[in-house]
């Protein structure tokens, strides 16, 4: 397998960009299905919140384990890792992901919760490998100033997968608890995804990829300083930890929150449909970011913004029986979030600050307000979350040069926050209730605010100079 082709110019990477974008869709879909698995496994296997959120623990622990192994290998075998890093990580990661998805077949036949958890761990191990290669690859395919915009664009298609997953999962939630149909539907979804992942893996293996490391002149970068002594990277890793933990916690417990009579009192099936709007918020926000953090001309921006707004309205209107009123409410939330992008044009750190502040306001509303307004502002957290991961990621890997593979591994390890924080919030939910447990997420947003204001500083770029 020819990993990276130095003769292929980065200016001609459209086919590669398309296949990479498809990868984002795939692991977005598979990751978000966990939010549907949590309430259904809780019901079918008679689990408490802590035990049910072990779904997220098993999945996101793989990020720590695999990324740590990859970091050690890339540290001691730098040259070999450099030739393998991007395309190799994607191809092998896709095959491992497919293996984990195929593991759902014996899990459903045996109706074994531990076997489900193991299959999730294997699948997440593959997704970790994919992200180790694909995230920095997208960031490096172009000018550093527009890296956040490119990564947000691909992440938007990731969020398309996260939007569709709860809708498909809602069909599974509608099945009677304990019935054979419950596990047959789940089996079919994951087997289909496994086949698709294998096809993408073969296509990626046969495709040539430009050698972005050589094109960026990484040979000229000083790598004498250990990567773990780079402050903006290490602070960024902690920001990724808190962000992913918050994103996954909301996705895991949003259905349970919506089921509460003090909030909306809806069924789990309808809650899953509303969950799709939470994930759609990430997609919408990332499309906005792709418009305002990239090189889209000012004349064309209104056209693209209008299309994104219509997409948001259409998604809300088309999701089951929401009706016009719910679609309008969702559009109002989107327009309010849009102000953050409008006032922070090509200023990712300032955008991160404003969205973190919005998230804090939403959390207080979720906890202290009653009725559907609490539900809607919990859904609005998806809009607040939209650009956090790609923005933090691109800020953290700046100026790493040949240390980029090691830096990426550290950031991928930090995704273990998605394993830890949901379990902690699940335990708090058992003690103080689901609604009050959302206060825990204030810690995450406070730290992200710190990173945007101070932690992302490098000698060449500070918040005040942005």
> From CA 436, how far away is CA 364, in angstroms rounded?
10
Structure tokens at 144: 């550093």
Asked if 413 contacts 236 with a C-beta cutoff of 8 angstroms, the reply is: no
Mean of pLDDT over the chain: 83
Nearest 5°: CA angle at 206, between 76 and 394? 50
* pLDDT tens digits for range 21-45: 889 899 889 988 888 888 888 888 8
Let me know if residue 63 belongs to a domain. yes
Asked if 198 contacts 95 with a C-beta cutoff of 8 angstroms, the reply is: yes
pLDDT of residue 220: 43
pLDDT of residue 121: 96
Let me know if residue 387 belongs to a domain. yes
pLDDT of residue 270: 85
pLDDT at 167 over 70: yes
* pLDDT tens digits for range 329-349: 999 999 999 999 888 877 888
Our count of domains for the chain comes to 1
Residue whose entry in the numeric block shows the structure tokens 């090189």: 295
Structure tokens at 190: 């994951």
The helix/strand count (H/E) of the chain reads as 21, 0
Residue whose entry in the numeric block shows the structure tokens 């180790």: 132
Let me know if residue 107 belongs to a domain. yes
Asked if 157 contacts 26 with a C-beta cutoff of 8 angstroms, the reply is: no
Let me know if residue 3 belongs to a domain. no
pLDDT of residue 145: 64
According to DSSP, residue 207 is labeled S
User: For the ranges 152-156, 178-182, 333-337, 410-414, which has the lowest average pLDDT?
Assistant: 178-182
90 or 76, greater pLDDT: 90
> From CA 209, how far away is CA 325, in angstroms rounded?
47
200 or 187, greater pLDDT: 200
Burial bucket for residue 231 (CB in 10 Å: 0-12, 13-18, 19+): exposed
pLDDT class of 173 with cuts at 50, 70, 90: low
Residue whose entry in the numeric block shows the structure tokens 């759609």: 280
The parent domain of residue 396 ranges over 10-217+227-465
CA 15 to each of CA 196, 206, 210: distance values in angstroms, whole numbers, following the listed order:
18, 12, 11
* Closest C-alpha to 123, from 249, 214, 27, 218: 27
According to DSSP, residue 1 is labeled -
CATH number for 154: 1.20.1250.20
> From CA 229, how far away is CA 227, in angstroms rounded?
5
According to DSSP, residue 458 is labeled B
pLDDT class of 118 with cuts at 50, 70, 90: very high
Instruction: Identify any residues that bridge with 210 across adjacent strands, giving them in sequence order.
Output: 5
> From CA 168, how far away is CA 165, in angstroms rounded?
5
* Closest C-alpha to 405, from 141, 124, 76: 76
Burial bucket for residue 139 (CB in 10 Å: 0-12, 13-18, 19+): buried
> From CA 101, how far away is CA 92, in angstroms rounded?
14
Asked if 237 contacts 410 with a C-beta cutoff of 8 angstroms, the reply is: yes
* pLDDT tens digits for range 221-269: 444 456 778 888 999 999 999 999 999 999 889 999 999 999 999 988 8
pLDDT at 391 over 80: yes
Let me know if residue 1 belongs to a domain. no
pLDDT of residue 193: 92
CA 287 to each of CA 33, 160, 378, 436: distance values in angstroms, whole numbers, following the listed order:
22, 11, 20, 32
pLDDT of residue 59: 93
Q: Which helix (H) or strand (E) holds 392?
A: helix 388-396
Let me know if residue 2 belongs to a domain. no
* Closest C-alpha to 284, from 250, 328, 330, 324: 330
Q: What is the dihedral sign for C-alpha 176, 186, 170, 367?
A: positive
* pLDDT tens digits for range 366-382: 999 999 999 999 999 99
pLDDT of residue 139: 66
Asked if 243 contacts 389 with a C-beta cutoff of 8 angstroms, the reply is: yes
pLDDT of residue 461: 59
Q: Give the contacts of 446 (CB within 8 A, at least 6 positions apart).
A: 356, 360
pLDDT at 10 over 50: no
> From CA 9, how far away is CA 458, in angstroms rounded?
30
Asked if 231 contacts 451 with a C-beta cutoff of 8 angstroms, the reply is: no
Residue whose entry in the numeric block shows the structure tokens 């079918």: 44
Q: How far apart are the first and last CA of the chain?
A: 41
Let me know if residue 318 belongs to a domain. yes
Among 98-112, 157-171, 436-450, which range has the highest average pLDDT?
A: 436-450
pLDDT of residue 53: 87
Let me know if residue 222 belongs to a domain. no
pLDDT of residue 466: 54
Long-range contact pairs involving 222-226 (C-beta distance under 8 Å, separation at least 24): 222/401, 223/401, 223/402, 223/403
Burial bucket for residue 267 (CB in 10 Å: 0-12, 13-18, 19+): middle
What burial letters (b/e) apply to 29-48, b meaning 16+ CB within 10 Å? Answer: bbbbbbbbbbbbbbebeebe
pLDDT of residue 8: 44
* pLDDT tens digits for range 403-461: 777 888 888 889 899 989 999 999 999 999 999 999 999 999 999 999 999 988 876 65
Asked if 291 contacts 150 with a C-beta cutoff of 8 angstroms, the reply is: no
Longest dimension (CA), the chain: 62
pLDDT at 401 over 50: yes
Instruction: Identify any residues that bridge with 461 across adjacent strands, giving them in sequence order.
Output: 458
């Amino acid at each position: 397998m020819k990993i990276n082709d130095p003769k292929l110019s980065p200016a001609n990477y459209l086919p590669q960009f398309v296949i990479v974008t498809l990868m984002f869709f795939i692991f977005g879909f598979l990751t978000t299905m966990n939010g549907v698995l949590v309430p259904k496994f809780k019901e079918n296997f008679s689990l408490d919140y802590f035990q049910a959120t072990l779904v997220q623990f098993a999945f996101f622990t793989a990020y720590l384990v695999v990324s740590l192994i990859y970091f050690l290998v890339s540290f001691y075998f730098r040259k070999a890792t450099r030739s393998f890093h991007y395309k190799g990580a994607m191809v092998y990661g896709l095959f491992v992901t497919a293996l984990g998805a195929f593991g759902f077949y014996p899990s459903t036949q045996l109706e074994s919760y531990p076997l489900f958890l193991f299959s999730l761990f294997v699948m997440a191990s593959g997704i970790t490998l994919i992200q180790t290669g694909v995230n920095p690859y997208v960031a490096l395919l172009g000018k550093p100033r527009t890296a956040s915009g490119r990564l947000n664009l691909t992440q938007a298609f990731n969020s398309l997968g996260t939007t569709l997953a709860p809708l498909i999962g809602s069909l599974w939630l509608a099945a009677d608890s304990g019935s054979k149909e419950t596990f047959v539907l789940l089996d079919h979804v994951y087997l289909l995804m496994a086949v698709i992942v294998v096809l993408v893996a073969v296509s990626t293996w046969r495709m040539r990829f430009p050698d972005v490391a050589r094109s960026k002149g990484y040979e000229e970068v000083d790598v004498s300083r250990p990567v773990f002594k780079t402050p903006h990277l290490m602070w960024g890793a902690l920001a990724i930890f808190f962000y992913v933990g918050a994103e996954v916690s909301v996705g895991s417990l949003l259905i349970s929150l919506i089921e509460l009579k003090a909030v909306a009192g809806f069924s789990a099936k309808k809650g899953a449909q509303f969950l799709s709007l939470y994930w759609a918020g990430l997609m919408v926000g990332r499309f906005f970011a792709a418009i305002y953090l990239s090189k889209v001309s000012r004349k064309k921006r209104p056209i693209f913004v209008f299309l994104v707004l219509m997409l948001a309205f259409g998604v809300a209107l088309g999701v089951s029986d929401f009706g016009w009123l719910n679609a309008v409410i969702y559009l109002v939330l989107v327009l309010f979030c849009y102000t953050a992008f409008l006032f922070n044009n090509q200023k990712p750190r300032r955008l991160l600050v404003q969205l973190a502040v919005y998230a804090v306001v939403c959390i207080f509303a979720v906890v202290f307000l009653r009725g559907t307004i609490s539900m809607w502002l919990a859904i609005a957290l998806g809009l607040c979350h939209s650009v956090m991961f790609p923005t933090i990621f691109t800020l953290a890997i700046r100026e790493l040069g040949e240390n980029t593979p090691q830096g990426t591994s550290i950031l991928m390890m930090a995704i273990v926050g998605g394993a830890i924080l949901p379990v902690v919030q699940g335990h708090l939910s058992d003690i103080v209730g689901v609604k009050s447990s959302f206060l825990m997420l204030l810690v995450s947003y406070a730290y992200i605010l710190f990173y945007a204001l101070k932690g992302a500083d490098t000698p060449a770029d500070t918040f005040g100079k942005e």
